[in-house]
Each structure stands twice: as C-alpha cells, then as structure tokens.
Amino acid sequence: MRVFVLDKNLKPLDPCHPARAREILKKGRAKVFKRYPFIIVMQERTVDESTTHSHRIKIDPGSKVTGIAVIQEKTGRVTNALEISHRGQQIKDALESRRSLRRGRRNRKLRYRKPRFLNRTRKQGWLPPSLESRIANIETWVRRIKKLCPIAAISQELVRFDLQQIQNPEVSGVEYQRGELFGFEVKEYLLTKWGRKCVYCHTENVPLEIEHILAKSKGGSNRVSNLTLACRKCNEAKGNKPIEQFLSRKPDLLKKILSQAKSPLKDATAVNATRWELYRRLQSTGLPLEVGTGGRTKFNRKTRGIEKHHWTDAACVGASTPERLLLKDVKPLLVKARGYGTRQRCRPDKYGFPKAHAPSSKYFQHFQTGDIVKADIPSGKFAGQYVGRIAIRYRPSFVLQLSTQKIDVHPKYLKTIHKADGYEYQS
C-alpha cells in the first residue's frame, strides 16, 4: 500500500511507494505526520511545484464491513485500501440493555415520575443509531482521505441487491431480466443469503448452481423466495422431486431451509436502508458521484479475474472501473470502529441496581483509553518492546492490548504514537 504525502502547507500530493517514503525520510526531506494511516509531510515542496494525478474513492458499503479503495484513474493502480469493521450490532445490544434497565426501573415501586416520551421528536431523515454509525464511519473516512489525496470523484455501490427486480423480474421489461447483469444480481443475493455453500450437503468452495425449491415443472416460480443454492451433485440428485420427499430423512434440515427461504436478509436490508442517506452525505462533499449495483461490481470482478475481498469489491464498483486494475502488493489497512467510550456513569448489576460509578474524567496521566502506544518495559515478566492499544485504569497500571494477549504495564514505560480517534488499526 502506498504512503499518503502532504506538502509543507498540508495540501495533498500523490501517494508514493513505501521505499520512496523511507528514502526521503532518511534524507530529512520529510517527517512523519501520522501513523494510521501512514502519512508523511514534505518540508519544502508545495503542490504548485509538483505534478498530481486525479484519484477516485470507491466504496463498497456493507452491514458489517465496508471496503474502500483509492484508485489512480489514469493508470488503474490501487494506491490505498481500507476495510472498516462497523459496530452496529454492538450499538444495538447496548441500546437494548439500556431499554431493559429503564423498563425494570420504571416497573419497580419507586417514586412517580411523569412520562416524558411524548415530548421527544425525531428529526427528518432520522435513522436508528446502529445504522447511523455505519454511515458516519464511511463519511468520516471519505473526508479524511479527501484531505490526504488529490481526489477527483467518488464511486458508491448504491444498491447491493435490487430486491424489487429480483422478486419481480418483469418490473422494467424482459430486457432487464435477460440483461448481462441479471444473473449476477440473483446469484450474489443467494450466495449471501445461503452462506456460500450447498444447502443440502453444506459443501463449500465448489461451483454452486441456482436450485428451485419447488421445481418449475411442478409449478415453481423464479421468485427469489423459491431459489436456493446447491452443488451439481445435489442438484442432479434432487431433480424435480418435492423437497419434502428429497429431505424426508432430514426433517431438521427441511425445516431450516423452508424457514430461511422466506426470511428477509438482515444485512442486505441494513445496507438498503442506509444507501440513500449515504448517497446524500457523499454528495455534500462536492465531488462527482458515480453509483453502481452489486451485480455490476461482481461482473467487473469476475471479468477481471480478481479474488473476492471487501476492498477488491470496492475497487470494482461502477462503470468507471478500468479494464486493468493494478493490485500488486496492496495490503489493506484494517480499521475497526471502537467508539469514544461510554457516557454511562452508573454501572448496574444484572438486576438493574447500581453497583459502581465510573469516574467522570477520561484521562489519566495524559493517556486515554484507545491510544496506540509504544511500550519499552526494561525488566520483569513482560520485558521487551511492544506496540498496542491501551485501556487506562485510574491507577498506574494500564492494560496493553496486543494481538495475542493483554499485559499490565506502568504508564512511565509508555509513549503515545497515535492518539485515540475512535478506531482500532491493524496493518
């Protein structure tokens, strides 16, 4: 992955190769500006003295993970890539916990308090916090990258699955149904819904075929609720038999398939619920905005022979995808949303009664939970040098979170290399 470069006035230049960044850092022509993502700032050069090329941010929004790729439009080189892990489910669980605690408190025989819920209103365009956090994460990183790289345009996967046209292929005429992207829309939806494996034998990493639960020769339709995925062996073994007959010896599997066939796809629904709000937020950046469907993304990736990852899907979003994408040596920066802590001062037990009170201060000895630090421990069980994320305690013993373990460390051995910004990084 390339290194972001800023001029001496903090204006973006073209990203450079890591070897080139090491060279100019060694010569003293630049200094490290930030660690995550890695940014250097030139000491003398300005934008007017340099030649820059237009880049495009491509976004593949997801319910759990969003892929972002930065592409130099002239050469088709992927200069930078990110995979952002959202915390929507964590937020939903926290809100449900808070709701249950409040409900229990109200139902106990305590002093009467007049209900206030009728005084609360929601602003226009309100989204649940679990969905709002996904949009905020993407918007934050688009605006960050815009400050670090000469961005000329944005591409967004606006529709992951065209649910209306999958359910009713005739909605815009038979030409759409038989267009070159139709099969990709349906197949991608089914792959996600059924976990990318055969529903009958659970085989993975084999070619899967679209299977009609109720065979067309028996009156079955092409509606997505009647479709599933099967390997060739199972598909041929079932033929046009009723699924009840084919799975007569596996009643649990039969029940699971029939219930899942008509169940909504939660992650796809979350993406579709936020797509237009994300579109409006990206429009507010003032950059030209291109949109494409999930079927187009998969079509681009398949025709170019690219392996599936979140960031490679992002690189293939939209019709602007170059015929040749340069992906060699690109390693995405893994970004995990962690938030900025909690405002909950009273910590209750499982029955909702207070058991502890958190300090109001978020800092201790100039450190904050979420800071990425370098630890140099001279002696003891954990002697050595480490880099990791800390969780502070309000005493001189912090928790240093490493990739494989957690260790206790005194703050006098720590040096901050990246201040907490609500995210955790893994390069």
Sign of CA pseudo-dihedral 14, 11, 333, 403: positive
Per-residue pLDDT tens for 367-382? Answer: 999 999 999 999 888 8
Give yes or no: residues 299 and 371 share one domain: no
In the predicted model, is pLDDT for residue 180 greater than 50?
no
pLDDT band per the 50, 70, 90 thresholds, residue 117: low
Domain of 369, CATH number, reads 2.30.30
pLDDT band per the 50, 70, 90 thresholds, residue 13: very high
Low-confidence winner among 24-33, 91-100, 225-234, 262-271 (lowest mean pLDDT): 262-271
Would you state the pLDDT for residue 272? 80
pLDDT band per the 50, 70, 90 thresholds, residue 390: very high
Would you state the pLDDT for residue 380? 85
Per-residue pLDDT tens for 189-248? Answer: 788 788 889 999 999 889 899 999 999 888 888 888 889 999 999 999 999 999 999 999
- Among residues 231, 261, 291, which one ends one of the domains? 261
**pTM for the complete prediction?**
0.78
Token reading at 348? 């209750």
- Among residues 311, 337, 363, which one ends one of the domains? 337
Would you state the pLDDT for residue 359? 81
- Report how far apart the first and last C-alpha atoms of the chain are (Å, whole number): 10
Segment 277-294 mean pLDDT:
92
Give yes or no: residues 222 and 370 share one domain: no
pLDDT band per the 50, 70, 90 thresholds, residue 70: very high
CA distances from 130 to 87, 91, 126, 231, 383 (A): 7, 5, 12, 36, 41
Q: What is the chain's Cα-based Rg?
A: 26
Would you state the pLDDT for residue 170? 44
Would you state the pLDDT for residue 168? 52
Which among 124-133, 147-156, 176-185, 388-397 has the top mean pLDDT?
Answer: 147-156
Would you state the pLDDT for residue 175? 41
Task: Match 């088709």 to its residue by tokens.
Answer: 76
Low-confidence winner among 14-23, 61-70, 163-172 (lowest mean pLDDT): 163-172
- CA angle in degrees (0–180, nearest 5) for 225-228-233: 155
At residue 115, what is the residue type? P
Q: Give pairs for 255-261: CB < 8 Å, separation 24+.
A: 257/199, 257/213, 257/228, 258/213, 260/193, 260/194, 261/213, 261/225, 261/226, 261/228
In the predicted model, is pLDDT for residue 263 greater than 50?
yes
Angle between helices 88-107 and 129-148 (to 10 degrees): 140
Percent of the chain with pLDDT over 90: 55
In eight-state DSSP terms, residue 326 is: B
Closest by CA position to 318, among listed 57, 92, 114: 57
Give yes or no: residues 82 and 139 share one domain: yes
Give yes or no: residues 378 and 320 share one domain: no
Per-residue pLDDT tens for 133-158? Answer: 999 999 999 999 999 999 999 999 98
CA–CA distance, 11 with 23 (Å, rounded to integer): 21
Q: Tell me how crowded residue 242 is: count the other CB atoms within 10 A of its CB.
A: 13
At residue 268, what is the residue type? A
Would you state the pLDDT for residue 284? 93
Pairing of strands 77-85, 65-72: antiparallel
Question: Could you tell me if residue 270 is inside a domain?
Answer: yes
Would you state the pLDDT for residue 167? 52
Closest by CA position to 311, among listed 92, 43, 67: 67
Give yes or no: residues 68 and 138 share one domain: yes
In the predicted model, is pLDDT for residue 184 greater than 70?
no
Give yes or no: residues 155 and 189 share one domain: no
Give yes or no: residues 239 and 180 share one domain: yes
User: What pairs with residue 377 in β-bridges?
Assistant: 384
Task: Match 């460390």 to its residue by tokens.
Answer: 409
Give yes or no: residues 154 and 270 share one domain: yes
Question: Could you tell me if residue 182 is inside a domain?
Answer: yes
Low-confidence winner among 163-167, 191-195, 253-257, 302-306 (lowest mean pLDDT): 163-167
Closest by CA position to 363, among listed 337, 338, 341, 336: 341
Question: Could you tell me if residue 119 is inside a domain?
Answer: no
Give yes or no: residues 135 and 274 share one domain: yes
Q: Tell me how crowded residue 62 is: count the other CB atoms within 10 A of its CB.
A: 23
Per-residue pLDDT tens for 292-314? Answer: 988 889 899 999 999 999 999 99
Give yes or no: residues 257 and 289 share one domain: no
Give the number of domains in the chain. Answer: 4
Give yes or no: residues 369 and 413 share one domain: yes
Task: Match 């409006």 to its residue by tokens.
Answer: 280
Give yes or no: residues 39 and 76 share one domain: no
CA atoms within 13 A on the CB side of 363: 5
Burial classification of residue 157, based on how many CB atoms lie within 10 Å of its CB (0-12 exposed, 13-18 middle, 19 or more buried): buried
Closest by CA position to 293, among listed 171, 183, 170, 168: 183
Greatest pairwise CA separation for the chain in angstroms: 76
Mean pLDDT (the chain) is 87
Helix or strand (DSSP H, E) at 18 = helix 18-26
Helix or strand (DSSP H, E) at 261 = helix 251-261
User: What pairs with residue 408 in β-bridges?
Assistant: 399
In the predicted model, is pLDDT for residue 18 greater than 50?
yes
Q: Residues 204, 230: contact at Cβ < 8 Å?
A: no
CA–CA distance, 266 with 150 (Å, rounded to integer): 36
CA distances from 378 to 367, 384, 386, 390, 414 (A): 20, 6, 11, 18, 11
Percent of the chain with pLDDT over 70: 91
Q: Which domain holds residue 215?
A: 173-261
Question: Could you tell me if residue 233 is inside a domain?
Answer: yes
Segment 395-400 mean pLDDT:
91
